[in-house]
């Protein structure tokens, strides 16, 4: 069982969903970016989040690991309430892997150092253990020959695979992806999706903002469609692609499929 993330509460085993959002609303100043967002992601589930640009997908996902504050509602990750001043947010973030559109590797560090830094600094692993974990994951994403290189010497697809390996090195309880393939040249999208598909099939709990509907069809359990800060659809994959869609979702899908 994972260590409790809220140091102030008794370490009760969480039996509920891995991520539960209830009535989450958020404002940027006067602008309401999220309105009453409610959903849950169970352990081992893969949930794809899609919707038009500006609909609040990135904001929603950043709220899950407290990279963005929200003013109303609650998000509970593995039993730990995110909006609770007693919650140890750095500890929470350490357990929630996040992969961004633009990789966000440290450009001045080698791939090996990118993979080991947070393990040593945040988890307190010794260097050898961190390197061995990092190298095993680098191998898993097919890049073990590149450990000594710097991010700038790798292709976008390779850098994103390193970013996924780096996140996995922290033993996350859940992985969040924010459009991990949308900055890539088309020929590199597949290699990143392959890693994500493998991860999904191994049972990782994943919340993925992506417009890769092939990926959604392959591994998603559910699809969430957002528009104007609201969760407009939250459906099983078959329902989402098959029928019972709102006009807004249909309109969106007709543009991207």
In the set 3, 13, 30, 53, which binds ligand ADP (CB under 6 A)? 53
**Chain position whose Cβ is nearest to Mg ion:** 58
Report in angstroms how near the CB of residue 98 gets to Mg ion at its nearest: 13
Under the criterion CB under 6 A, does residue 57 sit at the interface with ligand ADP? yes
Residue closer to ligand ADP, measured from CB, 78 or 212: 212
Number of chain positions touching ligand ADP (CB under 6 A) = 11
What is the nearest approach in angstroms of Mg ion to the Cβ of residue 164? 18
Q: Which residue from 6, 59, 65, 119 is in contact with ligand ADP, where contact means CB under 6 A?
A: 59
Query: Should residue 54 be labelled a site residue for ligand ADP when binding is judged by CB under 6 A?
Result: yes
Contact pick of 39, 58, 87, 181 for Mg ion (by CB under 5 A): 58
# of chain residues touching Mg ion (CB under 5 A):
2
> CA-CA distance, 243 to 192, in Å (whole number)?
29
Choosing from 39, 46, 50, 56, the residue that interacts with ligand ADP (CB under 6 A) is: 56
Q: Which x/- pattern, by CB under 5 A, does the window 116-145 give for Mg ion?
A: ------------------------------
What is the C-alpha separation between 227 and 225, in angstroms, rounded? 7
CB of 201 to ligand ADP, least distance (A): 26
Residue 39 binds ligand ADP (CB under 6 A): no
14: contact with Mg ion by CB under 5 A:
no
Please give the Cα distance from 120 to 40 (Å, whole number).
32
CB of 65 to ligand ADP, least distance (A): 14
44 close to 61: Cβ distance less than 8 angstroms: no
Of the pair 56, 79, the CB lying nearest Mg ion is at: 56
Written in H, E and C, the secondary structure of the chain is CCCCCCCCCCCCCCCCCCEEEEEEEEEECCEEEEEEEEEEECCCCEEEEECCCCCCHHHHHHHHCCCCCCCEEEEEECCEECCCCCCCHHHHHHHEEEECCCCCCCCCCCHHHHHHHHHHHCCCCCHHHHHHHHHHHHHHCCCHHHCCCCHHHCCHHHHHHHHHHHHHCCCCCEEEEECCCCCCCHHHHHHHHHHHHHHHHCCCCEEEECCCHHHHHHHCCEEEEEECCEEEEEEEHHHHHHCCCCHHHHHHHHHHC
Q: Which is nearer to ligand ADP, 57 or 95 (CB)?
A: 57
* List of residues contacting ligand ADP (CB under 6 A): 28, 31, 33, 51, 53-59
Chain residues binding Mg ion by CB under 5 A are 57-58
């Amino acid at each position: 069982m994972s260590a409790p993330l809220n140091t102030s509460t008794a370490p009760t085993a969480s039996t509920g969903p891995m991520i539960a959002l209830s009535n989450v609303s958020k404002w940027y100043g006067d602008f309401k970016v999220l309105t009453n967002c409610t959903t849950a992601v169970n352990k081992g589930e893969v949930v794809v989040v899609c919707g038009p640009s500006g609909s609040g997908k990135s904001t929603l996902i950043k709220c899950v690991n407290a990279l963005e504050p929200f003013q109303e509602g609650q998000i509970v990750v593995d039993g730990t309430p995110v909006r609770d001043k007693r919650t140890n947010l750095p500890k929470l973030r350490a357990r929630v892997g996040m992969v961004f559109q633009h990789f966000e590797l440290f450009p001045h560090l080698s791939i090996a150092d990118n993979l080991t830094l947070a393990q040593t600094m945040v988890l307190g692993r010794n260097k050898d253990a961190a390197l061995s974990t990092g190298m095993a994951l680098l191998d898993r994403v097919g890049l073990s020959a590149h450990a000594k290189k710097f991010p700038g010497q790798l292709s976008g697809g390779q850098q994103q695979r390193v970013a996924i390996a780096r996140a996995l090195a922290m033993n996350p309880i859940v992985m969040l992806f924010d459009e991990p393939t949308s900055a890539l040249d088309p020929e590199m999208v597949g290699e990143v999706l392959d890693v994500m598909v493998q991860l999904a099939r191994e049972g990782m709990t994943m919340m993925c903002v992506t417009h890769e509907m092939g990926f959604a069809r392959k591994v998603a359990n559910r699809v969430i469609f957002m528009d104007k800060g609201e969760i407009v659809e939250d459906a099983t994959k078959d329902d989402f692609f098959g029928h019972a869609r709102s006009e807004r979702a249909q309109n969106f899908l007709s543009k991207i499929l």
